């Protein structure tokens, strides 16, 4: 594995393309520089960096992973304002990291990769207007939560008010005197409702499926705490380690074993939160899910139940029949008159590299390989696509760990694969079919024992109803990422 020093001797010069300037794309560029690989560029489709935190700017947006864990290990931030940071602080954090590591001039904005093809041992990248670059290695840092899932609602285009997906928030729309409708009940919808309920005359949440709410407070750090973080960075390191271990032991490792004692503790806390904080028995039963806590992505909120009980808030559980010019018509015949309609309906989490047209060795097309569902060995490498590595790719720990911690482990693993090419041991490296199939068989068996498979519909499930996220413990993930098993790879 690379030791972080510049390559020495007569080794092969290499050029890299990083696709995406979000959290994992910035990390990739910094890691390459630190390892002595300086011929690289980040291609970003948008006009600025940030990924998820650039695109999601809705009221109330915050991270559901503790701030000091949702930070690069090499860039601790003493200035986080809260235990769970708001979105604008996270965006500013990434902008500051990029500036301090001199990435500003290394990112090509407004450059959407349309096609990448492996020809004669190199990747040829193109945009819609033609050829763009030829590189030895592609690192796909395209993220997971960036293709909005638009609901199929009859008449949506007839609504005469403002309507938009939560990830495409229209900040020109005035909200303070508006009647707001929010379609959805996941983390985004909960954050929007709690942020707006005290600002607007009326807000309706249209619920198809109720969610379990974890009772997690979000205190602000005091001035004294922030001063201590600045003066003693080792406090942050210790806090990060403690949060990481606790997060793994009490949550991440719990949900991959549906019958674990820790999982039952989580469920009991969610039930108590509902029972103790929702006073109207009718509303309480409307908010009570009929599936186990964490079967869907667990929603973290200190005050959603208080918000939805405000006199100007309404939980609508009747199904939506159609959208009309004046609002939402539900199946009971009622018209909910609205001025703004927000679609907090999540993302298409199976896209990954797509819609980029990716063509591997001998004309193999990724769309064909992923025709049923996306699969990658350890979420990083796809057989037949040499020198193409994904961060937070298919079947990765997207729902149960800090994605920054995950990405740091993954990029170290990728660098060990890159070292095989750069040292001259091979020209091309990709996971073997046998290793990919063997691991996927093991993954599927483990996934059936997770709480995600306990009887609900969620974005964790693939087309077969099998959870697609990492179904093992965090310790297992660390072990797998410690060093590649080169016998699992084809080296050409």
Q: What pLDDT shows up at residue 400?
A: 67
- pLDDT tens for 159-201 read 999 999 999 999 999 999 999 999 999 999 999 999 999 999 9
How far is the CA of 229 from the CAs of 80, 92, 285, in angstroms? 10, 18, 44
Percent of the chain clearing pLDDT 90 (strictly above): 87
Tokens standing for residue 50: 């940030």
Residue 215: pLDDT over 80: yes
Q: Tell me what pLDDT residue 11 has.
A: 66
pLDDT of residue 397: 87
Q: Is 473 helix (H, G, I), strand (E, B) or coil?
A: coil
Mean pLDDT on 299-309:
97
Mean pLDDT of 269-296: 97
Q: Which residues, 6 or more positions from 395, have their beta carbon under 8 angstroms from its beta carbon?
A: 374, 375, 376, 379, 440, 443, 468, 469, 470
pTM assigned to the model: 0.94
Q: Region 280-289: what's the mean pLDDT?
A: 98
> Is residue 22 over pLDDT 50?
yes
- Bridge partners of residue 220, in order along the sequence: 82
Mean pLDDT for 286-305 is 95
Domains in the chain and their CATH numbers? 16-147+348-491 (3.50.50.60), 156-217+243-343 (3.50.50.60)
H or E segment and range at residue 132: strand 130-135
Strands 357-359 and 115-119: parallel
Residue 483 pLDDT > 70: yes
What is the residue-wise DSSP string for 307-368? HHTSTTEEEE-SPEEEEETTEEEETTS-EEE-SEEEE---B-TT-TTTTSEEE-GGG-BHHH
For the chain, give the number of residues: 492
Check residue 147 and give its pLDDT: 79
Q: Is the pLDDT of residue 5 over 70?
A: no
> Cα(442)–Cα(433) distance, rounded to whole angstroms?
14
Please give the pLDDT value at position 3.
35
CA distance 61 to 167: 10
For 85-90, which contacts have Cβ atoms below 8 Å and span 24 or more sequence positions?
86/61, 86/62, 87/53, 87/56, 87/57, 87/61, 87/62, 87/63, 88/57, 88/61, 90/53, 90/63
pLDDT for 74 beyond 70: yes
When pLDDT is averaged across residues 462-491 and rounded to a whole number, the result is 94
Structure tokens that stand for 287 in this block: 């908010």
User: Contact, 39 vs 14, CB < 8 A?
Assistant: yes
Cα 266 from Cα 264, distance rounded (Å): 5
Range scoring the smallest mean pLDDT among 112-126, 156-170, 241-255: 241-255
Contact 64, 300 (CB under 8 A): yes
CA 442 to chain centroid, in Å, comes to 24
CA–CA distance, 401 with 174 (Å, rounded to integer): 36
As given in the structure block, the two tokens for residue 332 are: 């009971």
**Rounded Cα–Cα distance for residues 438 and 443 (Å):** 9
Task: Return d(Cα 403, Cα 408) in angstroms, integer.
Answer: 9
How big is the CA angle at 469 (ends 150 and 236), to the nearest 5 degrees? 100
pLDDT at 6: 36
Is 452 in contact with 295 (CB distance < 8 Å)? yes
Sign of CA dihedral 211, 214, 215, 217: negative
Lowest mean pLDDT segment, chosen from 95-104, 140-149, 250-259, 389-398: 140-149
Over residues 28-46, mean pLDDT:
97
Q: What is the pLDDT of residue 391?
A: 95
């Amino acid at each position: 594995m690379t030791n972080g020093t510049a390559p020495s001797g007569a080794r092969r010069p290499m050029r890299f393309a990083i696709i995406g300037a979000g959290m994992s794309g910035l990390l990739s560029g910094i890691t390459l520089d630190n390892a002595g690989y300086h011929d690289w560029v980040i291609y970003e489709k948008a006009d600025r960096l940030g990924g998820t935190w650039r695109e999601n700017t809705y009221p109330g947006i915050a991270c559901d992973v503790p701030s000091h864990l949702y930070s690069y290990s090499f860039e601790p931030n003493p200035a986080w304002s809260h235990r769970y940071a708001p979105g604008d602080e996270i965006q500013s954090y990434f902008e500051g990291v990029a500036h301090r590591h001199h990435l500003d001039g290394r990112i090509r904005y407004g450059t959407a990769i349309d096609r990448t093809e492996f020809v004669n041992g190199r990747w040829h990248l193109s945009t819609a207007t033609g050829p763009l670059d030829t590189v030895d290695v592609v690192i796909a840092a395209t993220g997971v939560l960036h293709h909005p899932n638009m609901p199929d609602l009859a008449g949506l285009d007839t609504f005469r008010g403002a309507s938009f997906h939560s990830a495409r928030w229209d900040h020109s729309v005035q909200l303070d005197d508006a009647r707001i409708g929010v379609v959805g009940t996941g983390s985004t919808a909960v954050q929007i409702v709690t942020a707006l309920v005290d600002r607007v005359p009326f807000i309706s949440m249209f619920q198809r499926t109720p969610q379990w709410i974890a009772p997690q407070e979000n205190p602000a750090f005091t001035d004294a705490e922030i001063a201590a973080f600045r003066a003693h960075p080792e406090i942050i390191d210790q806090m990060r380690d403690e949060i990481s271990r606790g997060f793994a032991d009490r949550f991440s490792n719990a949900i991959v074993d549906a019958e674990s004692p820790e999982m039952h503790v989580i469920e009991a806390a969610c039930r108590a939160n509902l029972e103790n904080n929702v006073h109207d028995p009718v509303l309480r039963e409307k908010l009570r899910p009929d599936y186990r806590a964490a079967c869907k992505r667990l929603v973290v909120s200190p005050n959603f139940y208080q918000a939805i009980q405000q006199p100007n808030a309404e939980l609508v559980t009747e199904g939506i029949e159609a959208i009309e010019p004046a609002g939402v018509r539900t199946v009971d015949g009622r018209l909910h008159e609205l001025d703004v309609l927000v679609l907090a309906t999540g993302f298409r989490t199976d896209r990954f590299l797509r819609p980029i047209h990716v063509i591997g060795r001998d004309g193999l097309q990724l769309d064909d390989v992923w025709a049923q569902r996306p699969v990658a060995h350890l979420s990083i490498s796809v057989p037949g696509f040499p020198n193409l590595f994904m961060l937070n790719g298919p079947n990765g720990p997207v729902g149960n760990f800090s994605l920054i911690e995950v990405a740091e482990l993954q990029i170290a693993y990728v660098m060990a694969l890159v070292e095989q090419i750069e040292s001259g041991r091979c020209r091309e490296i990709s996971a073997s079919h046998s290793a990919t199939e063997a691991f996927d068989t093991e993954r599927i068996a483990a996934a059936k024992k997770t709480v995600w498979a306990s009887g609900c519909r969620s974005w964790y499930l693939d087309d077969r109803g099998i959870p697609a996220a990492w179904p093992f413990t965090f310790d297992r993930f660390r072990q797998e990422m410690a060093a590649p098993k080169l016998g699992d790879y084809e080296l050409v």
